[in-house]
Structure 1
Amino acid sequence: MTVAGLLVAGCAAEVVVGQASPGPGEPVDVAPEDFPITGVSDTGIDQFARNALTDLDTFWADAYPEFFGDEYTPLENGYFSVDSEAIDEGAYPETGIGCEGSPTSPDSVAGNAFYDPACDLIAYDRALLEELSTEYGRFLVPVVMAHEFGHAMQGRFGFSERGIQDETQADCLAGAWTSWVAAGESQHVSLRTPELDDVIRGFLLLRDDVGSDPDDTQAHGSYFDRVSAFYEGFEGGVGPCRDDFGPDRLFTAAEFDPRDVDTGGNAPFDDIVTWVGATLPEFWSEVFPAAFGADFEPPTVEGFQSSAPGCEGLEDRDLGYCPDDSTVYVDEADLATPAYDEIGDFALTTAISLPYSLAVRDQAGLSIDDGAATRSAVCLTGWYEAQWFNRAFDEYAQISPGDIDEAVQFLLTYGVDDRVFPNLDASGFELVGAFRTGFLEGGDACELQR
């Protein structure tokens, strides 16, 4: 905040890992002759890419006519695999990984995966895919393929000619396909539900640099922008991906104010505590009476050092709300300070807002210790932080690029920890979805019914 006054280079994608998704049977490898890839090897990573591309082709053969009203046409010039660490020039035609009229050298794919609209083909560096799969989870490879396949579909129904819009729409289309896989519809790849947490963690690697120009033709979007788009496709399918990516779509990516460059947009720890301590009661005192017909009594916010307060249910906790004394407790030593140092100032904002939202639910006569309460608190935190994004608190400070990304990072890093939400019945992916819902739709979508 400011005091008031990968994709991989050209285009790649995201990750996944956990229990196999339901389906008609175990995934079956596709034979090389049934789905040719130029320059392909007999390695496991190429086989995995072939399996994913085959299922993508099957998915779009049905989905494209249904959602875009035209016959699906397979990629005209197919697929190319390159090992950037040992390029075999003899494995490719004279046009390399391009086509007649647009030849491309195989070494141009190094460290990347992309769709070439001039030739209607997908090329990828299998050395990169191997690295990503090893370091960030096996399902990153299919999502990379799904993102690029999304671009191929845009090549048919039309690009927007705006980088961030096209890239996040491709993320959405990848999410729609991933949901289809999770539902057990695919024949050649499978998805374990817990792998979705790794998928969206992978988006952190693939976002644009914080503070970069969102209007650049190569812009891909902030962490929140990309995760939100993927989640939208996963939850809603292809329809929202087709309909909700017009020029008026909200993006949180923004350039740094000159004042933010040196600090990365992070305000001092004590300032954040002061601002959050002022804006949370201000916000809830305004909206609570309209929602519940009663005045809001702000809870106390109190920090502690490692030893949890003597409140039933907060033993061995780093964060929580105590209804007995109407106090939000935050462990400064083991949670607040590390989150601030490792992630940023809006991680601290999120840490305080989560139990504060439970205090709101308590005053409204709603549960505070079940799955609905957890999801609602995360959703309400998204609603509160949207007020920062919409500059409702400019008298205190202004939000900086990357702040909303930090909220997502906090949920994935700390929100799934028992010391924050014990007996959690939601995955990190679901927590991020709840946050996104509150941020974009407001409190009415945050399970506040008595």
Structure 2
Amino acid sequence: MTIKSRQKKSLYYTLFQQCQTAFPSFPRECSLSLGASIKHVRLRMGLTQDELAQHARMKLSALKTLENGYAKFTTLSNIDTLARVLRVSIQDLVLEGLEWFPANFFVLKNPGHESLPKRRRDINNVWFRRQIVKGDGFLCDFVSPPLCSYGHFCFVILELDPGKTIRDAVLPSPDQLLGFVLKGALRIRYDNSQEYDVFANQSFTMRGDKIHDLQNADKNLPLRMCLAFTLSSSQKPLETAKEHSQDTPCFNLGLGIKKIRDLYASSDERSLSYSHFSSITGLDEQSLRYLENTTDPDQVIYWDKIEVICRALKIPLSQFLGFCEDRDGGYFYLSTAHDRAFIDYRHYLGVRIKSAVFPGTHNNFHLSEAYIDPRGGVRRASWRRRDQAMMAAYVEDGELRIEVGKNRKSVLIQGESVYFDGSLGYIFTNPGTKPAKLLLASYPAIVF
């Protein structure tokens, strides 16, 4: 099955397309809003466009074009001159441009929320109205923006009617799918051969390119759960080999090597090149070609080289042997309430974090329930991810004030959410009178 056919069949891809339809004007590609950064720094300094152009010795028309976002490129000398006049470093000027890209601070508010007045001081509080996608027996509430790009992920709240089943769900690539049951009982049929029951306060992670059914096992009460996944992957689906004839052995070493080259390919049309494969593993190309052509049962198998390949690519030997037997059942991990890590910052920061996933380095995503005490008497702390991590916060109860970077801020109530770039730095505070409960997700994961 090709990637395009998998995408057409994928429930998640269909839901994402409907989310894109709900936000027709939202940008489809990542972009650095350098012009918006220059404009807001200029406004903070109280300079007009004429004054800035005069001090920077630029044409006024060129500055207006740059600030309005029509010029995607500009020279380094112009940026350096503008940064000197605005008394900021080039790094601060460029990084502030990240804040103004809509996907790096994406706020969704309830439909009944009143629109903000169009005043200059409210320009930092840009938000979008929640759009709930309706399906056959379920509702899907997207927390993440309608952007399918590397480094971004999808985070959704899914409500499934009593007794309903979502059949033949599948991701287009062999990436991880994370789920957490908030209320109800979920039954998962995985890869047409395995069945699991997941109850409230339990989570699961599985390889999403295996066909799976999601069923509400309770015929009287609705199911509520959240899912995290990505649709922008460099990995492509593994092709299934042809059925073995009676004369062909079930164990095929060459097939295992071919599947590894397909799994780590950077293109949909071509497998991983032998030169790149050689640079990753340290083995010469001739040896790798020999291993892939090892299809005769009388050929010698160099198991030391197989171990080198598995260690270099961080693939368990058991998974590689499954590739050789054309038996790739994926994986499924279940995490109960007793497996979840708990971190208590209550006495220092007024924050408690209860992870929803089983601790380990195999997680692509992080998901947790976070509790934030009211602001009175709580230390105000700024957090920052050292990696390029996208984060999402959904308010389950209470109120949340979120500040991202130097400019973006918003106050959220129950049922509202924010998706942002964690590397810009962020501050969570609770302006209410009772503890706030959040669903907090990130990609890549936070490792405890």
- The structure, 1 or 2, with the larger RCO (C-alpha pairs under 8 Å, 6+ apart) is 1
Based on CA coordinates, which of the two structures has the bigger radius of gyration?
2
- Say which structure is richer in strand: 2
The reply to whether TM is greater than 0.5 is no
